[in-house]
Structure 1
């Protein structure tokens, strides 16, 4: 295999990983958003803060230690979302039906505050 073929093969692998991560991240984001919309517990406020950080990290900075304060299934979904963000094919809220409106409603419902001018 020559170097061009090797590069093409490597790029194909990256594209496949990116697509898989985006699909898995979309499913995980949907599950987390559904929890934020329907549940009410201490863990869920952490989920909401995570979702808000994926939406606008400048307004809602990500606190990585939140991953340690939720159930394993929730933190696994958070990690899937982060992997999807790493590949950067799409903003996660755009991958779910009416994601922008739903996420903004969850942010408001849980009392997260946008910074002044935000």
Structure 2
């Protein structure tokens, strides 16, 4: 070990390093990056809405008109989106591809939501509430 007159780097005797302020160009570049990122997010959200609407319509229609196991899973998923029910994600593996893809499109719509998913379809809240009643799901 070498003896030195300099204090340890973490010692309070050492003067704190002065933070260098970013240049105007750096600040402006970061602002442009954030703006571009926000525009990309807005576009992604916009692009997710139509597939989510179509997917929710498919799932609601199935839950409203059928009483099969697939329809029950669709109803459970729709109820989960509204907060009425728990949905086991492993159920996706037991569904027809079209239905599991619809559920994933709904999840993408929830993820990038510009509005509640149920507002994307006509009478969405009322239809979901009725599906929950018809399938015996309780409100939270």
Aligned partner of 1:50 in structure 2 is 77
The alpha carbon displacement at 1:60 in A equals 1.0
- Counterpart check, 1:31 vs 2:58: yes
Which of 111, 133, 140 pairs up with 1:108? 133
**Considering only aligned residues, what root-mean-square deviation do their CA atoms show, in Å?**
1.6
Q: 5+ residue gaps in structure 1?
A: none
Larger Rg: 2
Superposed CA deviations along residues 33-62 of structure 1, whole A, max 9, x for unmatched, are: 111112221111000000000001xx4122
The count of corresponding residues between Structure 1 and Structure 2 is: 113
Q: 5+ residue gaps in structure 2?
A: 1-27
Higher relative contact order (CA 8 A, sep 6+): 1
SS of structure 1 residue aligned to 2:137: coil
> Where in structure 1 do 4 or more consecutive aligned residues deviate above 4 Å?
none
Aligned partner of 1:67 in structure 2 is 92
- How far apart in 2 are the matches of 1:11 and 1:4? 11
